[in-house]
């Protein structure tokens, strides 16, 4: 690895196409224009490792990363896992993150941030290729807040279910922005909104327990490492209150998972959602002693435990709500398949 760090989260070699093929997935990258700005997007489809051809999928998962992160580094390992389970996974860098438009890590209008990703996700969801398949929203950390916002902004019956990993619904007391500081900056009539002037809480170190994974995440060249912006912290504090009031509006099946030793997002907020949501099919799993980043930041053994729980949940819901539909998506068009995976 060079002095500037590795080219990819897995190192300098192999090249992307070879790496993804070795993982059993086909990766595609593109930009998507939304009313709020342009997003960098990725998709991951399962392939036959011997032939390289795409194989039937059970459903589609739309994934959103957390604060300061992007879809192009270790987060995509989650998408690869879901693709290996038989799902097409679609991801988008949030506005202000990664290779998407916007001031780095500035989220002065969270509805616009969520709305941009939702614009892309709906464009895929409404494609005839996926219209009859079960479709899930997945969100990690702040991406969990964005995911719930996308659900609330979506037309009824758009989504089969939600998967939320350590979602930001409530901040621990020592992570909350100072109301006095926000008030004083507010006296500047918006001029300070994009300033990197809020105390840095060292969220990455508080999120990652495995030191080897911490080194990988810290080497991400697109990770935002500056102090939080005034408008971002103001907006995140507001959105937590808004989502808490909106929990009773949640009626879709969901799985929420959280570590009990999470110092970045408070597991009490996730418990509150579980208690107040009107969903008839809802699941909550708390992992004793786990930190914030359940999949990217724990030991391989702990991360696999979380992934196994997610796989059991989504496979059951895809089977329960999917009506046995399977499809093959080819690069050059659509080829339907019956329930045995035999192409027509």
pLDDT, one tens digit per residue, over 78-113 is: 999 999 999 999 999 999 999 999 999 999 999 999
Is the pLDDT higher at 139 or at 174? 139
> Angle 203-314-267 (CA atoms, 0-180°, nearest 5)?
30
Over the Cα atoms of the chain, what is R_g?
19
Q: In the predicted model, what is the mean pLDDT of the chain?
A: 87
pLDDT tens per residue across span 158-173: 999 999 999 999 987 6
pLDDT of residue 211: 84
> In the chain, what are the domain boundaries?
16-336
**pLDDT > 70: what percent of the chain?**
83
Structure tokens at 276: 């107040």
Looking at the predicted structure, is the pLDDT value of residue 207 above 90?
no
Query: Do 37 and 322 contact (CB within 8 A), yes or no?
Result: no
Looking at the predicted structure, is the pLDDT value of residue 206 above 80?
no
Instruction: Give 325's pLDDT tier (boundaries 50, 70, 90).
Output: very low
CATH hierarchy code of domain 16-336: 3.40.50.1820
Cα 59 to Cα 80: distance, rounded to the nearest angstrom? 14
Backbone φ, ψ for residue 32 (5° rounding): -125, 125
Residue 102: count of CB within 10 angstroms of its CB: 21
pLDDT tens per residue across span 332-343: 333 323 333 322
Cα 336 to Cα 54: distance, rounded to the nearest angstrom? 12
User: Residue holding tokens 């993982």?
Assistant: 23
pLDDT of residue 184: 52
Query: Does 234 sit behind a cis peptide bond, omega within 30 degrees of 0 on the bond before it?
Result: no
Q: Please give the DSSP secondary-structure letter assigned to residue 12.
A: S
Q: How long, in residues, is the chain?
A: 344
pLDDT tens per residue across span 118-132: 999 999 999 999 989
Annotated active-site positions, please?
141, 262, 292
Structure tokens at 303: 């991360």
């Amino acid at each position: 690895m060079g002095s500037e760090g590795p080219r990819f989260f897995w190192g300098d070699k192999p090249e992307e196409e070879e790496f993804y093929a070795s993982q059993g997935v086909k990766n595609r990258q593109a930009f998507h224009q939304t009313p709020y700005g342009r997003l960098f997007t990725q998709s991951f489809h399962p392939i036959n490792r011997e032939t390289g051809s795409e194989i039937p999928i059970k459903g589609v998962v739309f994934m959103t990363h957390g604060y300061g992160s992007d879809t192009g580094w270790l987060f995509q390992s989650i998408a690869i896992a879901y693709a290996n389970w038989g799902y097409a996974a679609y991801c988008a860098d949030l506005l202000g993150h990664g290779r998407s438009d916007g001031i780095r890590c500035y989220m002065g209008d969270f509805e616009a941030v969520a709305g941009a990703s939702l614009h892309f996700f709906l464009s895929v969801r409404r494609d005839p290729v996926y219209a009859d398949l079960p479709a899930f929203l997945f969100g990690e950390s702040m991406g969990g807040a964005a995911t719930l916002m996308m659900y609330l902004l979506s037309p009824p019956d758009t989504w089969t279910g939600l998967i939320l990993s350590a979602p930001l619904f409530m901040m621990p007391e020592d992570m909350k922005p100072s109301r006095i500081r926000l008030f004083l900056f507010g006296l500047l009539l918006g001029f300070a909104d994009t300033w990197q002037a809020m105390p840095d809480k060292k969220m990455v170190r508080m999120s990652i327990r495995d030191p080897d994974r911490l080194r990988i995440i810290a080497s991400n060249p697109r990770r935002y490492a500056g102090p939080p912006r005034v408008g971002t912290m103001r907006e995140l504090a507001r959105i937590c209150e808004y989502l808490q009031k909106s929990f009773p509006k949640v009626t879709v099946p969901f799985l929420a998972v959280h570590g009990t030793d999470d110092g970045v997002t408070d597991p009490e907020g996730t418990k509150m959602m579980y208690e107040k949501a009107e969903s008839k099919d809802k699941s909550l799993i708390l992992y004793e002693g786990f930190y914030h980043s359940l999949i990217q930041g724990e030991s391989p053994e702990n991360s696999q435990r979380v992934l196994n729980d997610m796989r059991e949940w989504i496979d059951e819901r895809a089977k329960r709500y999917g009506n046995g539909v399977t499809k093959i998506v080819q690069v050059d068009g659509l080829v339907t398949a019956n329930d045995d995976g035999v192409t027509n």
